[in-house]
């Protein structure tokens, strides 16, 4: 019996056997590298982002996450500092030698976000915003495509196909939890999808256990589990004062918890004979 041809092509291993490696100015995502992306859910003010960035730089974290435009379920919730947030994040990252990843919410924001970010993120609510995906297919910077909260693997990979088919092959996938019947956690973090993705696609896979669980107490073990499952990296939320955070404080790590995460991820990477990208001597060229 002939194998049924997959509806996605460019993202599949049938098209490209070797793993895609996305190169940034200070690190690489994919291959033998385990990336650690960290920062606050939202940029709130200058003191907050510079304090967090300084702390992360001391751990040699190379990619800063942070939201400037915040899509929120409630229209009354903090919506982000917008362009001012982008500028603050870029200034902090430049001071401490880090790359920036932040979300772009609409086609009319692509050009603005492009100016300040090294990686443009598509959030769960926009995974099937095909006009946005087409716009991002025309840029020359990496794109992180988060899984839709109710999307199948096939739908997710087809969304990635939109970006690759327009000419941008610098795409990474991010599992951030899906919506199920379970309400003990914010979402259900689907770690089983990680090795499955790695078997059918060459794109790097990142896991976001902060969004995926909504509970800081389990971010560290789920980060370790993600790496053991084959993820190319994890993206976590860190805040200098989580109890005062304007967005997602309950899932943001305290500084001492982040230090614990780094220690445990180094051990986990060693077991797998891989490199945690905090250890610069093995960074892929």
Query: Are 133 and 144 contacting, i.e. CB atoms less than 8 angstroms apart?
Result: no
The 3-state DSSP class for residue 250 equals helix
| Alpha carbon distance, N-terminus to C-terminus of the chain | 43
* Mean pLDDT computed over every residue of the chain: 94
Residue 39's nearest CA partner among 57, 58, 53 is 53
Residues in a beta bridge with 276: 34
Provide the pLDDT confidence category of residue 3 given band limits of 50, 70 and 90: low
Residue 279 confidence (pLDDT): 62
Query: Are 205 and 197 contacting, i.e. CB atoms less than 8 angstroms apart?
Result: yes
> Is 282's pLDDT higher than 60?
no
Instruction: Dump pLDDT digits (tens) for 197-229.
Output: 999 999 999 999 999 999 999 999 999 999 999
Residues 73-92 have a mean pLDDT of 89
Tokens of 52: 């967090």
Residue 23 confidence (pLDDT): 95
| Fold entry, domain 23-273 | TIM Barrel (3.20.20)
Kindly report the backbone phi and psi dihedral angles of residue 170, in degrees, each rounded to the nearest multiple of 5, phi listed first: -95, 70
Residue 72 confidence (pLDDT): 73
Residue 49 confidence (pLDDT): 98
């Amino acid at each position: 019996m002939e194998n049924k041809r997959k509806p996605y092509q460019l993202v599949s291993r049938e098209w490209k056997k070797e793993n895609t490696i996305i190169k940034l100015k200070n690190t690489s995502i994919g291959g033998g590298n385990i990336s650690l992306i960290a920062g606050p859910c939202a940029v709130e003010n200058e003191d907050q982002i510079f304090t967090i960035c300084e702390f992360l730089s001391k751990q040699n974290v190379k990619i800063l996450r942070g939201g400037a435009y915040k899509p929120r379920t409630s229209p009354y919730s903090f919506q982000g500092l917008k362009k001012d947030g982008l500028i603050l994040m870029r200034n902090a990252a430049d001071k401490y030698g880090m790359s920036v990843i932040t979300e772009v919410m609409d086609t009319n924001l692509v050009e603005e976000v492009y100016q300040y970010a090294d990686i443009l993120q598509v959030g769960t609510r926009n995974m099937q915003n095909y006009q946005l995906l087409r716009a991002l297919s025309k840029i020359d910077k990496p794109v992180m495509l988060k899984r839709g909260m109710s999307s199948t693997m096939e739908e997710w990979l087809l969304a990635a196909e939109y970006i690759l088919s327009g000419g941008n092959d610098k795409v990474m996938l991010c599992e951030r939890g899906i919506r199920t019947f379970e309400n003990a956690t914010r979402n259900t973090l689907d770690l089983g999808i990680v090795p499955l993705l790695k078997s059918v696609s060459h794109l790097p896979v990142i896991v976001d256990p902060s969004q995926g669980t909504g509970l800081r107490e389990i971010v560290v073990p789920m980060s370790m589990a993600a790496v053991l499952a084959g993820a190319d990296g994890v993206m976590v939320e860190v805040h200098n004062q989580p109890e005062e955070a304007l967005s997602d404080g309950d899932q943001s790590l305290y500084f001492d918890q982040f230090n614990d995460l780094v220690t445990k991820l180094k051990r986990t990477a060693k077991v797998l004979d891989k490199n945690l990208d905090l250890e610069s001597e093995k960074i892929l060229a």
